[in-house]
A = this chain, B = another copy of it.
C-alpha cells in the first residue's frame, strides 16, 4: 500500500517549519521556482511528452491532450504566474479583529494564519501544480498535490523544480509533494487523512467534487461546476441582452462561468429572442428550446427541443437551453432549482427587478446587465485565483490568497484569571 501516511507526516512537519519562514523568503522561493521552470523548459517538455504519448495510446481526446500539454506558452505562463504571486500582498499575519477586555485584564487579537497542509485534487492539467504551489507557499501553507493520473510525470517534474527552489532558499522541500500513486483507492484514503491535512480543494468535474463531498473527513471547498443562467427580464434591453448572452455563451465554451441556459420572459419572445438567435447563429450555437421559445424562433437553423434534463446540463459546448417564464419569481425559482450556485445574471432596465433577482438567487456571484464570464479572481481584482467556490463556508465565488488563510486568536494577560 502506498505510504500516504508518510507523505502526510512530512507535509505536516514542513507546514510547522514554514511558520518560522519570513514572507520575503517565501517570495524568493517562488521567484527561484520561476527561474528553474524557465531554465528547464526542455526537460519539462520531454517529461510531458511521455505523458502525452501514454494518453494518446489510451485514446484520449484532442481536447484532453490540449489541457495536458506543456507548450512553451503554458510553461512561460507558469513562471510568470509564480512571479506575479510573489508580488501580491500576503494576507497571512494581518490583524482582523482586536479587543481589550479591561475588566478581565486581557488583550485579544485575531490574526490571519496559514491553514497548515492544503490538499489540491485536480485533473490532468499539469500547470495547476505550479499555480497551487505558488498560492499555498506564499500564504505559508504546505501543499500535497493529487493530479490526474495521466499528468503524473509532468506533475512530478514541475514539483521537482519547486522542491529544488525551496531547498535553495533554506525551506523544507516537503512543503510541496505529489501523490505518485494512481490507484483510485489512494485518492479516497487521502480525503480521510484529517490528522495531517487541514483543507482540501477539489478542482475538476462534478463527479470528482461530489466524491470529495461524500467521502472527505477533511473540510473541503467545493469549486467549479457551473450551470449558469442569463435571465432576460420583461424590462430587458434587447440589444444589450443579445450581446451579453452571446458573450456569456460563446466567448469560451469549456469554462465553468459560461452561460448554459437562457431564461426569458414570455413578453420578450418576439423581440429579444430573435435578436439573441441572430447573434448565436454566427457561432452555430444549438438552441434547445421549450415549446414557447421553439415556436418563437422556429426558423432558426440550429434549433432543437429541450428536455427537462437539458435544464440541468452543463454543456461546455456550442449549445444553450432556453426556458420561457411568465414572471421574475418564476425565473428565480427555476434558477434556484436548476443552477449550481455559481454565477447568474439578469438583463433588465428595472432596478427593482434587478435587486430582487440579486437578493433571491442563491449563487456565489449575481450579475445585473453583465456577462457571467466575469467570475474570475483576476477580473475581480484579487490578483490571483485558486478556484471558484460554489459553497458557502469560508470562501464563496472567485478565491484569491485570502481563501488560503484561517484565523487564530492571540490573547495576552499578566497572570490573568477569569472572574
Contact = CB atoms under 8 A, between A and B. Distances in A.
So how many copies of this chain end up in the complex? 2
Contacts of A246: 417
B362 A101 contact: no
Interface string A27-55: 00000000000000000000000000000
B360 A19 contact: yes
A172 to B, nearest CB: 14
A368 interface: yes
Nearest to A373: B418
A416 B371 contact: yes
Interface string A343-367: 0000000000000001110111111
Interface string A367-380: 11111011100011
A408 B397 contact: yes
Specify the main secondary structure of chain A where it touches its partner.
mixed
A243 B417 contact: yes
A409 B362 CA distance: 11
Contacts of A408: 363-366, 396-397
24 contacts: A16-B336, A20-B359, A99-B381, A101-B381, A110-B397, A115-B392, A213-B217, A219-B392, A219-B393, A240-B414, A243-B415, A251-B418, A358-B410, A365-B409, A367-B411, A367-B413, A368-B411, A368-B413, A369-B412, A370-B415, A371-B417, A374-B411, A374-B413, A393-B394
